[in-house]
Amino acid sequence: MRIAIGSDDIGLPLKDVLADYLAELGIEYVDFGARDADPVDYPDVAKVVAREVRDGHFERGLLVCGTGLGMAITANKVRGIRAATCHDAYSAERARKSNDAQIITMGSRVIGPESAKTVLKAWLESEFQGGNSARKVAKIGDVERAESEYLPRASASVTRERDRRPGRRAVRPPPSQRPTGR
């Protein structure tokens, strides 16, 4: 198994612990994230790792930031990716078995190194079970495809967009109060 990993600068210490753990387990990985304490924005790392997994260069991905949430939100924006934030072994197992999550995210400010290893191991040892879960995962893909086809209409002005909100009525000034354009 090959895993793409990455973190921002906040997640770097935990990512390094988990990278060493992957090496102990004999799992090959490539690190696309922060290498030192210089600031790195988590969306930049999550996007790269998610695309690498989506494109089939890696079977799975591991992302670490402060909470794991920003990484998961960003990775889930990449079409075809299912990323789950997990801080306990049961959720990690279910993320794989029921949701076919290809990417796990964790928060360095939420979970300690030893617990993170336990969670990662549960996720690595789990495989998608199919069955009823396959139908549900397919529906996730259906939602993703339908939403990617939706393109909101661009508004001519922020004011007009605000006036279209539910409960608001667009008010147009009388002709005598409209700008003449000169």
Length of the chain: 182
Exposure of 108 by Cβ count < 10 A (0-12 exposed, 13-18 middle, 19+ buried)? buried
Active site residue 65: yes
Q: Is 100 left (phi over 0), alpha (psi -120 to 50) or beta?
A: left
Exposure of 5 by Cβ count < 10 A (0-12 exposed, 13-18 middle, 19+ buried)? buried
Q: Choose the catalytic residue: 62, 65, 72, 106.
A: 65
Q: Tell me which residues are annotated as active site.
A: 65
